[in-house]
Amino acid sequence: MGTVGRVSLGALGFYLGEMIFPSTTVGGDKPQTQGEEQHGHDAEHKAASGGARKGGNIKDNRAKGDAYRDQVSESLTAAGRSVTKEVTKQTPFGRRVIDIEVKHNGKTLGGVETKTGNSRYTSSQRAKDNYLKQQGYPVNVSRQPN
């Protein structure tokens, strides 16, 4: 698979009619340390970006994450997919805000959780995403290459 702009589309093959992401993308990211569990979208992003840890700059991390989310969105759009950013889904584990929801020909394909740097894919996010997957809405992680 090629590159559109600066984002490799290989990792987004599921949304481009190819094979689904490897199963390691859901739940295969860095483990969460005890006491990090937070709720709500801003809290999810704060915990995921490492902003609460020493040396973290929440504003900069958020800007980098949003910029990567926008790159992925533009790449999917350039490949003929419709995208919506920041889509809320309700789960038994609480509210889940999906970075990018992807559609093709009016059919919802699923969501993309974008990650940059050392941002974590938290246990809360994994639990909600696994639930959504069981409901027929896969959420796949796209981590920005270093």
Domain boundaries, the chain: 3-143
Fold of 3-143: Trna Endonuclease; Chain: A, domain 1 (3.40.1350)
3-state secondary structure of 100: strand
The whole-number pLDDT of residue 95 equals 98
- What's the pLDDT band for 14 if we cut at 50, 70, 90? low
Give the pLDDT confidence of 58-95 residue by residue, as tens digits: 888 889 999 999 999 999 999 999 999 999 999 999 99
Query: Do the beta carbons of residue 91 and residue 131 sit within 8 Å?
Result: yes
CA–CA separation, 71 and 84 (whole Å) = 13
CA–CA separation, 129 and 54 (whole Å) = 28
Q: E strands along 79-138, which residues? A: 82-91, 94-104, 107-115
CA 121 to chain CA mean position, Å: 8
- What's the pLDDT band for 112 if we cut at 50, 70, 90? very high
The whole-number pLDDT of residue 114 equals 95
Sort 36 into a burial class: Cβ within 10 Å, 0-12 / 13-18 / 19+: middle
C-alpha distance from residue 69 to each of 35, 72, 112 (Å): 27, 5, 9
C-alpha distance from residue 138 to each of 58, 82, 86 (Å): 28, 16, 15
CA–CA separation, 9 and 45 (whole Å) = 24
Task: Decide: pTM greater than 0.85.
Answer: no
